[in-house]
């Protein structure tokens, strides 16, 4: 079985801070039994005809929703291009789909990400930036952590002059439970390098992202 570190991603070592043993990933059969338990806890009968295949479908869905644990953002950003033909401005991707699940209730949060970086000596294929967003989205998250992880991954792999990330999303744990407030969006930002020190560049990013 795979080992799962306390932070989520597969890892073979003991957490040096919390000294917790890695969690062994349960079998598919054990996961389906857990779904049956939740169905019964909710008040229904998992043996009912309409629910017989539900555990399989749920486990398949979890495999898709959380496939980010089996992907490495650094590998996506590894292939770079150093010939930028004198380009010396930001590279911005707008309206990247955000489909993630909050780590507190495992409820979806949906929205858009806006990611920009200011190249120093190398650039990366634009699809790779979107893929990095997708990888981190497909893990249990908070929006704040998600925003920082995207920025950190780009900084570590590309060493750009700066990175800007903005995410706007609606959280189903707020709209379908608890306070039941619909159409409330959460906006998070992370700025590094020139995007943090140059207010004019930061404002231009926000304007291009529709927040100016």
Please report which confidence band the pLDDT of residue 6 belongs to, taking 50, 70 and 90 as the band edges: very low
Q: Is residue 5 pLDDT above 80, yes or no?
A: no
Higher pLDDT, 174 or 11: 174
The domains found in the chain, sorted by start residue, are 3-65 (1.10.286), 75-208 (3.30.1130.10)
d(CA 21, CA 38): 26
Q: Is residue 17 pLDDT above 70, yes or no?
A: no
The residue among 193, 189, 169 whose CA lies nearest residue 90 is: 193
Mean pLDDT within 124-128? 95
Tell me which H or E stretch contains 163.
Answer: strand 162-171
pLDDT of res. 177:
79
- Residue identified by tokens 């043996």 is 47
pLDDT in tens, 58-73: 999 999 999 999 999 9
pLDDT in tens, 138-193: 999 999 999 999 999 999 999 999 999 999 999 988 888 788 888 889 999 999 99
Mean pLDDT within 5-21? 57
- What is the average pLDDT value for the chain, to the nearest integer? 91
Q: Are 158 and 122 spatial neighbours (Cβ–Cβ below 8 Å)?
A: yes
Residue positions annotated with a catalytic role = 102-105, 143, 171, 173
**Cα–chain-centroid distance for residue 119?**
23
pTM for the complete prediction? 0.87
């Amino acid at each position: 079985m795979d080992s799962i570190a306390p932070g989520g991603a597969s890892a073979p070592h003991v957490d040096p801070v919390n000294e917790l043993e890695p969690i062994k990933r349960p079998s598919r059969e054990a996961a389906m039994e857990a779904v049956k338990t939740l169905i019964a806890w909710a008040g229904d009968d998992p043996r009912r005809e309409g629910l017989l295949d539900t555990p399989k479908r749920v486990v398949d869905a979890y495999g898709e929703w959380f496939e980010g644990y089996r992907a490495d953002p650094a590998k996506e950003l590894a292939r770079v291009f150093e010939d930028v033909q004198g380009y010396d401005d930001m590279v911005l991707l707008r309206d990247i789909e955000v489909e993630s699940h909050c780590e507190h209730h495992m409820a979806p949060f949906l929205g858009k990400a806006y990611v920009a970086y200011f190249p120093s000596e190398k650039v990366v294929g634009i699809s790779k930036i979107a893929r990095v967003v997708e990888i981190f989205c497909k893990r249990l998250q908070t929006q704040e952590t998600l925003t920082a992880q995207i920025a950190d991954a780009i900084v570590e792999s590309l060493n750009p002059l700066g990175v800007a990330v903005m995410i706007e999303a609606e959280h189903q744990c707020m709209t379908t439970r608890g306070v039941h407030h619909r159409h409330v969006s959460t906006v998070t930002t992370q700025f590094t390098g020139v995007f943090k020190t140059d207010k004019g560049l930061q404002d231009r990013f926000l304007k291009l992202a529709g927040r100016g």
